[in-house]
Amino acid sequence: MFALIGHPLGHSMSPFIHKKLFEISGRQEAYELCEIKPEELKSRLPEVIQTYDGLNVTIPHKMQVIDFLDKLDISAAKYNSVNCIAKENGKIVGYNTDCIGFLRSVPEKALGGKFLLAGCGGVGRMMALEAADHGGDITIAIRESDSDMAKGLAGEINEKFFDVHVKIVLLSEITGNYDLLVNSTPVGMYPNIDACPVSEEVISRCENIFDAIYNPNETVLIKTAKKLNKNATGGMRMLVLQAVAAHEIWYGAKFDEEQTDKIISEVSAEVEKNF
């Protein structure tokens, strides 16, 4: 039995995705939503960990659960963030499969090239650090109100990766050509589906585009990129592939590309149906 913990969980796609993955693996497993308020975490989490064979973790608990674990995998230690918990040889181990899903969703060569990140909070920090780890030349594009956060991220990158160049610009003042544009902002997400974080002119100067948003399946950013014949990928791939990574961790599951692509299509159709 497995579950997602977080608060609030609302209309999560996790049960749909994980049940599909269990079906492909030929396993009869339950996957539940387990809502835990922040003030309840200390009293409830130890019992929840014992109750389930494995857990996924979402906001606001990704950092707070660390205190309840025996060990962090390098994927979680790297970001001080856990979104997957597994039981291994009597130990409770935390992983970060968000980064695995992201790395499997974007071209590796582009990640190490000229990298443009829209936004810098939450998942954007992970994306920027992965680009830095691949030797990317990083530009962080932000709203003026996010200046301090962006400077903090740039400082963290420079501290960890001495040879990586980081530049901060406003979203309205992006210049130059890029190998990869990644959107980590909520701009374009349901219900504000007519918005786009950058102009069409900026998109035209980017070879590959990745949007972390998965609802809608195709944001204005992705639609515009495809219109311009760019290699464009929406956030549904990352969402499914981070779940795939959890199954690999929990019980050594194996999935081929055809199977994961089928689930991505099915989840996309489910999102279209429900929103």
pLDDT tens-digit series, residues 127-168: 999 999 999 999 999 999 999 999 999 999 999 999 999 999
Judgement on whether residues 171 and 57 belong to the same structural domain of the protein: no
* Residue bearing tokens 């609802």: 215
Over 80: is that where the pLDDT of 274 sits? no
Least confident of 11-15, 26-30, 132-136, 257-261: 11-15
pLDDT digits (tens, 9 = 90+) for 165-200: 999 999 999 999 999 999 999 999 999 999 999 999
Q: Total structural domains in the chain?
A: 2
Same domain, residue pair 112 and 189: yes
pLDDT value of residue 11: 78
Taking the whole predicted model, whether its pTM rises above 0.85 is answered as yes
101 falls within a domain:
no
The domain that contains 120 carries what CATH number? 3.40.50.720
- The catalytic residues are 62
Given a cut of 90, whether residue 272 has pLDDT beyond it is: no
Q: Same domain for 141 and 209? A: yes
Confidence of residue 232 (pLDDT cuts 50, 70, 90): very high
Same domain, 22 and 88: yes
Q: Is residue 50 part of a domain?
A: yes
Identify whether residues 139 and 114 lie together within a single domain.
yes
- Nearest in space to 176 (alpha carbons), one of 151, 149, 195, 201: 201
* % the chain with pLDDT above 70: 100
Neighbours of 112 (CB within 10 A): 18
Q: What phi-psi label fits residue 181: left (phi over 0), alpha (psi between -120 and 50 degrees) or beta? A: beta
Q: Is the dihedral of CA 137, 141, 221, 6 positive or negative?
A: positive
Quick one: 122 and 21 in the same domain? no
pLDDT in tens, 233-262: 999 999 999 999 999 999 999 999 999 999
Q: In which residue are the tokens 């989490």 written?
A: 45
Which band of pLDDT confidence, cut at 50, 70 and 90, is reported for residue 273? Answer: confident
Q: Residues 222, 243: one domain?
A: no
Assign 135 to helix, strand or coil.
Answer: coil
Q: Which residue has the tokens 């810098």?
A: 120
For residue 233, with 0-12 CB atoms within 10 Å meaning exposed, 13-18 middle and 19 or more buried, which class applies? middle
- Per-residue confidence (pLDDT) for residue 58, from 0 to 100: 94
The percentage of residues in the chain with a pLDDT greater than 90, rounded to a whole number, is 94
44 is a domain residue: yes
Radius of gyration of the chain from its Cα atoms, rounded to whole angstroms:
19
User: Considering the domain boundaries, does residue 256 fall inside one?
Assistant: yes
Look at residue 121 in the predicted model and tell me its pLDDT.
81
**Does residue 33 belong to any structural domain of this protein?**
yes
Confidence at residue 96, expressed as pLDDT on a 0 to 100 scale:
96
Q: Is residue 85 part of a domain?
A: yes
What residues contact residue 88 under an 8 Å CB cut-off, 6+ apart?
none
Both 137 and 85 in one domain: the answer is no
CATH number for the domain spanning 92: value is 3.40.50.10860
Give Cα 220 distance to the centre of its chain.
19
Domain around 27: 2-96+237-274
Both 121 and 220 in one domain: the answer is yes
SS3 233: strand
**Which among 273, 269, 253 has a CA at the least distance from the CA of 261?**
269
Same domain, yes or no, for 115 and 221? yes
Decide if 250 is inside a domain: yes
How does pLDDT run across 69-126, given as a tens digit for each residue?
Answer: 999 999 999 888 999 999 999 999 999 999 999 999 999 999 999 999 999 987 899 9
Strands (DSSP E) found in 58-171: 71-72, 84-88, 91-95, 114-118, 137-142, 166-170
**206 and 267 fall within a common domain:** no
Sign, Cα dihedral of 57, 59, 63, 68: negative
Answer yes or no: do 124 and 223 share one domain: yes
Domain assignment present for residue 199? The answer is yes
